[in-house]
Amino acid sequence: MKGKMLTAIMLFFVFCTIGFGQPNLADSQPATSNVRAARYPRVTSDLRAMFQVKAPDAVKVQLQLGKVFDMIKGENGIWTITTEPLVPGFHYYFFIIDGVTVSDPASESFFGWGKMSSGIEVPEQGVSYYTLKNVPHGDVRQKWYFSEVTKAWRRCFVYCPPDYNLNLSKKYPVLYLQHGSGEDERGWSVQGKVDIILDNLISEGKAVPMIIVMDQGYATKAGAPAPVPGQQQSGPSAFEEVVIKDLIPFIDSNLRTISDREHRAMAGLSMGGMQTMQITMANLDKFAYIGGFSGAGRFSGSGLDVNKDFNGLMADAAAFNKKVKLLWIGIGTAEPQNMYKAVNGFHLSLSAAGIKHVYYESPGTDHEWLTWRRSLNEFAPLLFRIP
Amino acid sequence: MKGKMLTAIMLFFVFCTIGFGQPNLADSQPATSNVRAARYPRVTSDLRAMFQVKAPDAVKVQLQLGKVFDMIKGENGIWTITTEPLVPGFHYYFFIIDGVTVSDPASESFFGWGKMSSGIEVPEQGVSYYTLKNVPHGDVRQKWYFSEVTKAWRRCFVYCPPDYNLNLSKKYPVLYLQHGSGEDERGWSVQGKVDIILDNLISEGKAVPMIIVMDQGYATKAGAPAPVPGQQQSGPSAFEEVVIKDLIPFIDSNLRTISDREHRAMAGLSMGGMQTMQITMANLDKFAYIGGFSGAGRFSGSGLDVNKDFNGLMADAAAFNKKVKLLWIGIGTAEPQNMYKAVNGFHLSLSAAGIKHVYYESPGTDHEWLTWRRSLNEFAPLLFRIP
Minimal Cβ distance to B37: which of A98, A140, A226 = A226
Helices (runs of H) and strands (runs of E) counted in chain A: 9, 19
Q: What is the DSSP letter of A257?
A: B
> How many beta-carbon contacts under 8 Å exist across A and B?
141
Residue of B nearest to A185 (CA): B36
Distance of residue B37 Cα from the nearest chain A Cα, in angstroms = 7
Mutate to test the interface with A, among B29, B59, B60, B100 (most CBs of A within 10 A): B100
Minimal Cβ distance to A153: which of B100, B116, B132 = B132
The sign of the dihedral angle between the CA atoms of B88, B90, B95, B96 is negative
Chain A residues touching residue B120 (CB < 8 angstroms) = none
Question: Which run of H or E residues covers position A68?
Answer: strand A67-70
Q: Evaluate if pTM is beyond 0.80.
A: yes
Interface confidence (ipTM) of the complex: 0.90
Percent of chain B with pLDDT over 70: 90
Note whether A109 contacts B132, CB cutoff 8 Å.
no
Distance of residue A253 Cα from the nearest chain B Cα, in angstroms = 10
Note whether A97 contacts B101, CB cutoff 8 Å.
no
- Cβ(B146)–Cβ(B153) under 8 Å? yes
Q: What distances in angstroms separate CA B50 from CA B27, B34, B45, B94, B279, one per listed residue?
A: 11, 12, 11, 13, 43
pLDDT at A123: 97
The sign of the dihedral angle between the CA atoms of B148, B150, B156, B160 is negative
Determine the Cα–Cα distance for residues B95 and B51; give it in Å rounded to an integer. Answer: 10
| Strands, sheet with B49-54, edge to edge from the N-terminal-most edge strand | B28-30, B42-44, B49-54, B78-82, B72-73
pLDDT tens for each residue of chain A, 387 residues long: 445 554 554 444 434 333 344 567 889 999 999 998 899 999 999 999 999 999 999 999 999 999 999 999 998 999 999 999 999 999 999 999 999 999 888 999 999 999 999 999 999 999 999 999 999 999 999 999 999 999 999 999 999 999 999 899 999 999 999 999 999 999 999 999 999 999 999 999 999 999 999 999 999 998 887 666 555 555 568 999 999 999 999 999 999 999 999 999 999 999 999 999 999 999 999 999 999 999 976 555 567 889 988 889 999 999 999 999 999 999 999 999 999 999 999 999 999 999 999 999 999 999 999 999 999 999 999 999 999
Q: What is the DSSP letter of A44?
A: E
Minimal Cβ distance to A103: which of B59, B99, B102 = B102
Distance of residue A196 Cα from the nearest chain B Cα, in angstroms = 10
Residue of B nearest to A253 (CA): B166
Note whether A35 contacts B97, CB cutoff 8 Å.
no
Note whether A99 contacts B38, CB cutoff 8 Å.
no
Q: What distances in angstroms separate CA B366 from CA A194, B32, B88, B294, one per listed residue?
A: 39, 21, 10, 9
Q: What is the DSSP letter of A22?
A: S
> Which of B267, B254, B289, B299 shows the shortest CA–CA distance to B372?
B267
| Phi, psi (deg, nearest 5) at residue A69 | -110, 135
Q: Exposure pattern of A241-266 as b/e (b: 16+ CB <10 Å)?
A: bbbbebbbebbeebbbbbeebebbbb
- Cβ(B51)–Cβ(A97) under 8 Å? no
Mutate to test the interface with A, among B142, B143, B159, B253 (most CBs of A within 10 A): B142
pLDDT at B20 > cutoff 90: no
Chain B residues touching residue A143 (CB < 8 angstroms) = 137, 139
Residue of B nearest to A116 (CA): B105
Q: Of B26 and B343, which is predicted with more confidence?
A: B343
Note whether B141 contacts A137, CB cutoff 8 Å.
no
Mutate to test the interface with A, among B33, B107, B165 (most CBs of A within 10 A): B165
Note whether B105 contacts A116, CB cutoff 8 Å.
yes
The sign of the dihedral angle between the CA atoms of A204, A210, A211, A212 is negative
Distance of residue B299 Cα from the nearest chain A Cα, in angstroms = 30
Mutate to test the interface with B, among A92, A130, A141, A146 (most CBs of B within 10 A): A141
- For chain B, the first-to-last Cα distance in angstroms comes to 80
pLDDT at B48: 97
Minimal Cβ distance to B139: which of A114, A141, A184 = A141
Determine the Cα–Cα distance for residues B235 and B243; give it in Å rounded to an integer. Answer: 15
Residue of A nearest to B133 (CA): A153
pLDDT at B11: 44
pLDDT at B300: 52
- Cβ(B171)–Cβ(B264) under 8 Å? no
Mutate to test the interface with B, among A134, A142, A158 (most CBs of B within 10 A): A142
Give the number of other CB atoms < 10 A from CB of residue A77: 15
Note whether A109 contacts B101, CB cutoff 8 Å.
no
Prior bond of B85 cis (ω within 30°) = no
Note whether B141 contacts A144, CB cutoff 8 Å.
no
> Per residue, what are the HEC states of chain B?
CHHHHHHHHHHHHHHHHHHHHCCCHHHEEECCCECCCCCCCEEECCCCEEEEEECCCCCCEEEEECEEEECEECHHHEEEEECCCCCCEEEEEEEEECCEEEECCCECEEEECCEEEEEEEECCCCCCCCCCCCCCCCEEEEEEEEECCCCEEEEEEEEECHHHHCCCCCCECEEEEECCCCCCCCHHHHCCCHHHHHHHHHHCCCCCCCEEEECCCCCCCCCCCCCCCCCCCCCCCHHHHHHHHHHHHHHHHHCCECCCHHHEEEEEECHHHHHHHHHHHCCCCCCCEEEEECCCCCCCCCCCCCCCHHHHHHHCHHHHHHHCCEEEEEEECCCCHHHHHHHHHHHHHHHHCCCCCEEEEECCCCCCHHHHHHHHHHHHHHCCCCC
**pLDDT confidence band for B14 (50 / 70 / 90):** very low
Of the ranges A127-131, A279-283, B38-42, B226-230, which one carries the lowest mean pLDDT score?
Answer: B226-230
Minimal Cβ distance to B143: which of A38, A102, A139 = A139
Mutate to test the interface with A, among B34, B93, B103 (most CBs of A within 10 A): B103
Distance of residue B321 Cα from the nearest chain A Cα, in angstroms = 38
Distance of residue B250 Cα from the nearest chain A Cα, in angstroms = 12
Bridge partners of B62, per DSSP, are B70, B96
Minimal Cβ distance to A35: which of B116, B137, B255 = B116
What is the three-class DSSP state of A141? Answer: strand
Give the number of other CB atoms < 10 A from CB of residue A14: 10
Minimal Cβ distance to B58: which of A53, A100, A144 = A100
For the segment B334-345, the average pLDDT, to the nearest whole number, is: 93
Note whether A103 contacts B105, CB cutoff 8 Å.
yes
> Which of A104, A26, A124, A29 shows the shortest CA–CA distance to A63?
A104
For the segment B198-218, the average pLDDT, to the nearest whole number, is: 98
Q: Of B61 and A311, which is predicted with more confidence?
A: B61
Note whether A255 contacts B165, CB cutoff 8 Å.
yes
Residue of B nearest to A137 (CA): B144
Determine the Cα–Cα distance for residues B181 and A253; give it in Å rounded to an integer. Answer: 40
pLDDT at B62: 97
pLDDT at A12: 42
Note whether A142 contacts B108, CB cutoff 8 Å.
no
Residue of B nearest to A134 (CA): B146
Note whether B114 contacts A36, CB cutoff 8 Å.
yes
- For chain A, the first-to-last Cα distance in angstroms comes to 79
Percent of chain B with pLDDT over 90: 81
